[in-house]
Amino acid sequence: MPRRLQAARSSLGDWAFWVWAVVGVGFGLAISVIGLFTVPASAIATIVLLTRPRLRASAYGLLVGIGAPLLVVAFLNREGPGPVCHSIEGGSGTQCEDLYDPRKWLVAGLVFVLAGLGAQLWASRDALPGSTGRS
């Protein structure tokens, strides 16, 4: 396996990256009411994680975590935008909902997730022996 591919696999497979992603989910939930609880908890977790030098290198996982709830909202609104009606089981009527435009949520979520993955891969290439990254 080429060195760069191996470094990328180990970088994204690092548990610290996914710990940061979980913290990012807490920040990403700020789009809902539950964010009242998850954002302060994520802020405290961020402070704790930043005090550990080994964990700082994987902080780009935070972006991946922020993008995850946005992608969930896009999925839940996949039939939108606008009013969408479904018949209720047993034929006792219909239920209508006004859904958001999922494309906006999808684009925002993908930007965060791809930025986090790309930044982590970019940072991991500097750790390769013989790389021409930062000195």
Angle at 129 between CA 125 and CA 135, to 5 degrees: 70
Per-residue pLDDT band at 135 (split at 50, 70, 90): very low
Q: pLDDT digit string (tens) for 78-102?
A: 999 999 998 888 778 899 999 999 9
Query: How many Å apart are CA 84 and CA 23, to the nearest integer?
Result: 34
Dig out the tokens for 106 from the structure.
């999808």
Residue with tokens 């930062």, as numbered in its chain: 134
Over the chain, what is the mean pLDDT?
Answer: 88
Query: How many Å apart are CA 80 and CA 74, to the nearest integer?
Result: 9
Angle at 25 between CA 35 and CA 30, to 5 degrees: 25
The number of C-alpha atoms within 13 Å of 17 and in the hemisphere containing its C-beta is 18
Confidence at residue 76, expressed as pLDDT on a 0 to 100 scale: 96
Q: Buried (b) or exposed (e) across 103-113, using 16+ Cβ within 10 A?
A: eebbebbeebb
- Amino acid identity of 42? S
Confidence at residue 81, expressed as pLDDT on a 0 to 100 scale: 94
Confidence at residue 18, expressed as pLDDT on a 0 to 100 scale: 95
- Amino acid identity of 29? L
Q: Are 56 and 50 in contact (CB under 8 A)?
A: yes
Q: pLDDT digit string (tens) for 25-79?
A: 999 999 999 999 999 999 999 999 999 998 999 999 999 999 999 999 999 999 9
